[in-house]
Structure 1
Amino acid sequence: MASNLPGISTGATPQSVEKITRIAQDYEYNSSIPLRYWLRTAATLIREAAIYEREGHDEQAYLLLFRHAQLVLVHLSKHPDAAKDDKDRKALVAAEKEVQKNLATLERLKPRINKRYERHAQLLRERQSRKLPARPTVVAEPRERVTDPALAGVAEPLEAGENRDLAVRLAQSEITRRATVRRSKGQSGPSSEEGNNRRAAGVWGNWESALDTDKRPADRDLSQRIQDIRTNIDHAQPAKQDQRTRESPAREIPSSAAASAYKYPTVPQQRPLEPSVSPGQIAIRDKNVERHAPPVLPPKEHLEPSRASFVDGSPTSTPPALPSKVPPAPPLPNKVGSLEDPNSMKSDLNPSSYTFKPSAYLENGTPLRSVFLPANLRASFLSLAALNTRRNLETCGILCGTLVSNALFISRLVIPEQMSTSDTCETTNESALFDYCDSEDLMMLGWIHTHPSQTCFMSSRDLHTHCGYQVMLPESIAIVCAPSKDPDWGVFRLTDPPGLKTVLNCTRSGLFHPHAEDNIYTGALRPGHVFEVNGLEFGTVDLRPGSSQS
């Protein structure tokens, strides 16, 4: 899977770009997984990368963006579903456009990563030349941090279980900030020019000819690395095929596809914005500017409100009348940043100042980021499912949320359109679900469903359903609620290995078919990577027809 391998260790020894690109290519790909799931995985990689970059984790952001490029260009372009379904083919073209757009971000991150790596290497060389012992807190990090994802940065890694209250406050602050930014952008809306650029995707409609011009060395260097990935994987193919690849860029996306002729109308340029400011913001800004002292008012006894300022056309020595009571100046508003720039809206809880350590590991040693689950979410879900439960029908919901400080927070319970029986529950109209998540910038972190009359376990049908979620995100969880049994609920994930691969390769049908392996799934709560927390707010949205819940 493209997203379930270790990333770069933040707080650990800095890595070079070359090493990061090698790590980015180290994942499992299975073409039997439907293309739509892989495309959702690709979208998740982009969303995670944007958050990591915003929080200052350049290495992890670079890894995810490069992995996205490699996944899309090397594997998904050859996926069998791309030739079967027109909708999947269009989605794949959109993913390829995303790769082109992200090349600028990769090139922006590269010098920062290398500078940090070179500074660390120089420090090591200086200490070795002076024969000074390396200090563990600065140079040498504990070995276990090297394999932890996204722990390399300036923030001190925190234990999730010991800092639940901090995690809740941090998440609430950041989720609120992001929602404010999203609403602001939604209200203003893109300009007509920007809208046209988005629809036309720059010069993508005629990308073959456009990509032959303006080839910057930096872009060629990056695209050549991506092309080298394809060459290494396709090394068994004849040389003639390599020649055809170079001559026919339509499907293979050769190195010239990364040339800078592609226009980036919607990519931020990372330069200070000069937004229009309100009078209050001007007043705030002027606080930092040296101002002259105001003129001294004359004593009050000389102020005669009824007396004119001019006598016989000549000014008198008496100043103009002043009101008896001057209202105090209104208080200045709190200092805020422009809503156009998410990074400008700072709070006391800055996500870049914290990072949560992985709290569990897959069976293959891959670390899992912590997932924080609102303690009262199950009660809300069971209330929505009560009618179906009384009718002995299953109900399912989607657990959505976001990434903050290298931890995942469930902040939305979405009830999708679905068809239910006493033993199954299947979502329908998945496009509406995906559209909603995309519009709210939400990641799918798992699902929850009821067993109205069965015990709390994962049926074979449940295992196959959850496989699609865990392929997209290794931390994905499945919550089973069995209100009439004891225990009445559980949080589960597939083992890896053997569970995930066993289910992926299973072709048997039937609701309750057996699998060859016994250790197919395991608990994810106590111990595990899931933590129930009080005070973590979440919203509920019911997408079922006729529902007014929101």
Structure 2
Amino acid sequence: MASDRPMSAKEIADQALDYVWVPQLPFSRWYRAADVVYWEARSYHRDGNTPQAYLMFYRYCDLVVNKLKTHPEVNFPEHRFQYKTLFRRVPEVMELMESMRDKIDASYDQWHARVKAQRQSRPPSTSTIRVVDPALSWSYASPGSILDARTSKDVAMDMANRERLRRRNATKTAPSRSSRVFSEDELLRRDMEAARTQLNRSYRTPDTDERVQSTNYSYPSIKQSAPLSYDSSPRHPIHPTRPTPPRPPKQPTELYRPASVEPPPRPRKELDTEVLVPQRSQSPVPPPKEALEPTPEPKERYTFKPDKYLESGQPLRSIFLPASLRGRFLRLAEPNTRRGLEMCGLLCGVNLNNALFITHLLIPDQDCTENTCDTRNEADIWEFCEKEDVMQFGWIHTHPTQTCFLSSRDMHTQASYQAMLRESIAIVCAPRYEPSWGIFRLTDPPGLPGMLNCRKTDPFHPHDIPSDQLYVDALQPAGHVHELDSNLEVCDLRGKT
């Protein structure tokens, strides 16, 4: 990392403004994109990656303050509250960016002074690397190690497990009644509780059943008490009192002491002081402070380097996908697949050390047909993401009667994900054909800008760009998606009341 240079705050701000703004997209999609940018910035700030956090916070402020306020749908009643929610974060974000900018500029000035001193001592090297990814623009005060996703899956697995334990131990609010979040451990626990309940019912005695089923309790009646009557005549003979024994003699105030025995001499006062108060020279010497409070070593930091790059040269972060995701989604979609209806799910997860980990499969409420599946009640999706502290990294859907490919409508949907998160993926499952599944992303360019500028709405419509240039495979080794034997949680929001 000695040859890499940190970026200045001005360079990071210029990169933050380098994104595509398309006001023709629905406001709800831009609201989702802005929310993803905000949570990404928080993740980088938590990991200590100040340059990348500064970029994402800067992009969030520009999107909310300068772009979304000009959107044609911003004044719609259903969108006013959403915009206020986004704008309410801006003052706190800008205050945080002020302190972050000072750290970034200080690191850049330190690097500049170091390079200047090196140039004075020896000729400049021609192998100096110019960093274009702020996620790798490290501060010399907090160096980090660069990891390769292809050869560091064990490290990625360990990160995923530690993040899972951290979230499990974190204090959270009670889950909403409307959502049903369950993991494999939760399913096993529920099965054990159900079996235990059934076992208790089988061993319940008839008397116990009667007591459990009876809801009316009969209180005993109490008769009114009669007034008490006193009889002056004694009921039992009274025995004569016995005489009281004489009181023992009072103890003398002074003990008898023979005249020949003298009292022992009283010890001197100085001796008492010496015995009770130890000398200073005998007091134990306290151990050195360093032995009790050792200086903590700086925590080693990691970051995953970009695995692949877009056609434009921009880096793509690695995505770690649970290997069990596709099978669990197909089991949930089996009823729709038998009827020839599509079904979709959302891929949610967390950003850890410049890599995206998919941890949740969210099944939203949706309208399904033979060729389309449209989500409903998007407010429930946003509530879930906020409660679970996750972001949307893409989507998955089935083709029950078609082959594995991205239709025109699918590419338009994928463009809304990829517009603000270029690593977003689309997974297609076609159980009746081979290949039965695939992971795709739009090319950028020409696929993403072509979809954002297309105004056609038919489910199947042609484009001016050849179909083989619109999207590519995103799974390793060609793409940036890696399968990992990590845990997956499923949340089904369909039919919530």
Aligned to 2:199: none
CA distance in 1 between counterparts of 2:10 and 2:450 reads 34
1:541 partner amino acid: C
CA distance in 2 between counterparts of 1:480 and 1:505 reads 24
CA distance in 1 between counterparts of 2:73 and 2:3 reads 41
Aligned to 2:316: 368
Aligned to 2:31: 39
* Residue correspondences, number: 369
Change (3 A) 1:498 1:132: closer
Larger Rg over CA atoms: 2
Q: Is residue 2:83 matched to residue 1:92?
A: yes
**1:371–1:529 Cα contact (<8 Å) kept:** no
Residue aligned with 1:80, SS: coil
Aligned to 2:70: 78
CA distance in 1 between counterparts of 2:335 and 2:65 reads 47
Aligned to 2:13: 21
Q: Is residue 2:483 matched to residue 1:541?
A: no
Aligned to 1:380: 328
CA deviations 1:439-478 (Å, max 9, x no partner) are 1111001111111121101111111121211123111100
Change (3 A) 1:177 1:134: farther
Q: Is residue 2:448 matched to residue 1:500?
A: yes
Q: How far 1:23 moved relative to its partner?
A: 2.3
Q: How far 1:541 moved relative to its partner?
A: 0.9
1:167 partner amino acid: A
**1:11–1:151 Cα contact (<8 Å) kept:** no
Residue aligned with 1:453, SS: coil
Q: How far 1:395 moved relative to its partner?
A: 1.2
1:34 partner amino acid: P
Aligned to 1:473: 421
Q: How far 1:135 moved relative to its partner?
A: 10
TM-score, normalisation: structure 2: 0.70
Counterparts of 1:281-430 in structure 2 under 5 Å? 353-430=301-378
Among 136, 144, 148, the alignment partner of 1:151 is 136
Among 483, 506, 509, the alignment partner of 2:431 is 483
Residue aligned with 1:171, SS: helix
Q: How far 1:514 moved relative to its partner?
A: 1.1
Q: Is residue 2:170 matched to residue 1:186?
A: no
Aligned to 2:475: 525
Residue aligned with 2:485, SS: coil
- Which of 1 and 2 has higher RCO (CA within 8 Å, sep 6+)? 2
Q: Is residue 2:409 matched to residue 1:461?
A: yes
Q: How far 1:432 moved relative to its partner?
A: 0.8
CA distance in 1 between counterparts of 2:99 and 2:2 reads 19
* Identity rate, percent: 42
Unaligned residue ranges in structure 1 (runs of 5+): 1-8, 188-345
Aligned to 1:56: 48
**1:16–1:114 Cα contact (<8 Å) kept:** yes
**1:491–1:523 Cα contact (<8 Å) kept:** yes
2:78 partner amino acid: K
CA deviations 1:330-354 (Å, max 9, x no partner) are xxxxxxxxxxxxxxxx9xxx7x621
Residue aligned with 1:412, SS: strand
Residue aligned with 2:346, SS: strand
Aligned to 1:171: 160
Q: How far 1:179 moved relative to its partner?
A: 4.1
Aligned to 2:150: 161
CA distance in 1 between counterparts of 2:63 and 2:381 reads 24
CA distance in 2 between counterparts of 1:101 and 1:440 reads 22
Q: How far 1:509 moved relative to its partner?
A: 2.5
Q: How far 1:526 moved relative to its partner?
A: 2.9
What is the RMSD computed on CA atoms of the aligned residues? 2.3
Runs of 4+ that moved beyond 6 A: none
Unaligned residue ranges in structure 2 (runs of 5+): 175-295
**1:58–1:109 Cα contact (<8 Å) kept:** yes
1:521 partner amino acid: Y
Q: How far 1:415 moved relative to its partner?
A: 0.7
CA distance in 2 between counterparts of 1:55 and 1:77 reads 31
TM-score, normalisation: structure 1: 0.64
